Amino acid sequence: MSFPNDDLKNEFHMWMGYCIANWAKVEALLFQVFWAALRSPLPIAAVVYHRSPSVTSRLALTDELVKKNLPEPARLKSQGGHDHDSVIEWTAIYREINDLLAVRTRIAHQPVSVRDERYAIEEDSGGFSELLGTAWAELHMSDAESLRKNTAVKEPLRLGDLKVHRAATELIRLRLFSFLQKTLPEHAREFPLQHLRTDLR
């Protein structure tokens, strides 16, 4: 019995493409947040942002800059102070993007395989049997990756996981856009021009 593996692989790769395309939108918005927080001309922001070699490091740099623009607690946390609502909003966005990046990395780097399970149902007469089964595509750890010390074996990502991931990236993109349009402009401020320190001559 043959399974339509080509159709399975095509659909699976299509959803991988949807996920990666959504990440391009998330990263474009992340740069806009970075630029707004850096308060610099666009060419300078582009140089600084893209000097970081990975999305993870760019996210960390953006996080640090954004927090410099948001209000400090009215009181020290050790004295019962609490984060401003805008900080709580940004922290939730940052953590969600950081969590989603783990799946993005797997989509970009792990191999795709088609698996199947088959079983036979015997006829009462004993003359014939029917072969039934199911097949699916999945992203999984490579053999080489699984051989590394202290590497936790992760469950494969299947089609349903990709659909959930795509929906999650859509939601985080909307939250990033809202933060960029509403929250950050309320707090981001212009800083005074730098002055040359004459004592350094």
Q: Roughly how many angstroms between the first and final C-alpha of the chain, as a whole number?
A: 83
Give me the pLDDT at residue 82, please: 84
Decide which of 72 and 31 is more confident: 31
Q: Report pTM.
A: 0.79
* Rounded CA separation 2/27 (Å): 41
Residues in the chain: 201
**Local confidence band at 41 (pLDDT 50, 70, 90 cut-offs):** very high
DSSP secondary-structure letter at 182?
A: I
Cα–Cα distances in Å, from 173 out to 93, 105, 201?
10, 18, 48
pLDDT digit string (tens) for 108-126?
888 888 777 665 566 655 5
Q: Which amino acid is at 25?
A: K
Decide which of 78 and 126 is more confident: 78
* Rounded CA separation 106/100 (Å): 10
* Rounded CA separation 76/83 (Å): 9
Tokens at residue 200, please?
Answer: 């350094």
* Rounded CA separation 165/190 (Å): 37
